Amino acid sequence: MTRVEASPAPARRRLKGGRRGGAMAEPGSSSRVWRAVKLAVLLAFVLLFLIPVYVLVVTSFKPLDEADPSTAWNLPGQWSMSGWSSAWDALRPGLENSVKIAVSGSLISAVLGSLNGYVLSKWRFPGADVVFTLFLFGMFIPYQAVMIPLAGLLTDMELVGTIRGLVLAHVVYGIPICTLIFRNYYVTIPDELVEAARVDGAGMLRTYWSVVLPVSAPAFAVTLIWQFTSMWNDFLFAVFLGAPDSWPVTVMLNNTAGSGAVAVQYNQQMAEALLASLPTLLVYLLLGRFFMRGLMAGALKG
């Protein structure tokens, strides 16, 4: 009877549903196109960034007679390690000094920053916020503003021109940023853990050693990478407070570039630039994921 006429309604609904499904397919294809465009742009930026690296690497493996700016894009006709050998002989003392400064200074800065951050976040005292604010002010003092009084202080301490003096300068100047990193990270640790340690009779240092320090690996990774990179790449402190016996690799690299030779040894200079940058590059390649993880670990509170 008349019930047969009701059947087109579901068909119309199915037709509308099919149209909605077809309409939903269009944004998916456009999103894939957009992702492809973004990927292409990123690859273009990567290639643009790697062009100088390509020139450095290729030129460093060329013999001296092939190392010329007019043929910088060409691959070596004969691969040679003479540039790397000369670069190693020229920079070896500076590399040793940089390792001593960066490794020892990073470790000391990380330990002091960890203790400061722990006290300012979990073992608070009257005026802790004022002290933390004063620490933060130290981050905004430019190197140039303290260079002369710092040189006078190190001279009075008989540390000017020594590796110990450079380590001390870097540690003191790095304490504010290290304290900030650890303080923001320790804020995310539940206070109940510290309170439980206090109830069990643990003092400040015992609580730090048994409760806080075992979970501090992400913050230590961030601080060590940050301080190592800053100390390795430093030039101003080294050239102003150092001496020929304590010059790091950055100063020696500057001194060997364009040193007045009759023929500029481009292969050696390119190898020196790569050799000086390899340690920090390896640190970020090996520990980069810990660096980002540690930064994000303290981003929720504080």
Q: Does pLDDT of 19 surpass 80?
A: no
If 0-12 CB within 10 Å is exposed, 13-18 middle and 19+ buried, where does residue 293 land?
A: middle
CB 63 within 8 A of CB 75: no
**pLDDT-derived band at 302, boundaries 50, 70, 90:** very low
Question: What's the rounded Cα separation, in Å, for the pair 113 and 95?
Answer: 26
Where exactly are the structural domains of the chain? 2-60, 83-297
For domain 83-297, give the fold.
MetI-like fold (1.10.3720)
- 65-74, Cβ contacts within 8 angstroms, sequence gap of 24 or more: 66/267, 67/265, 67/266, 67/267, 67/270, 68/266, 69/266
Q: What is the DSSP letter of 75?
A: P
* pLDDT tens for each residue of 233-270: 999 999 999 999 999 999 999 888 755 555 678 888 89
> Is the pTM above the cut of 0.75?
yes
Region 36-41: mean pLDDT is 92
Residue 105 burial (CB count, 10 A):
25
* pLDDT tens for each residue of 224-241: 999 999 999 999 999 999
* pLDDT tens for each residue of 160-178: 999 999 999 999 999 999 9
Residue 276 burial (CB count, 10 A):
21
pLDDT at 16: 47
CB 227 within 8 A of CB 280: no
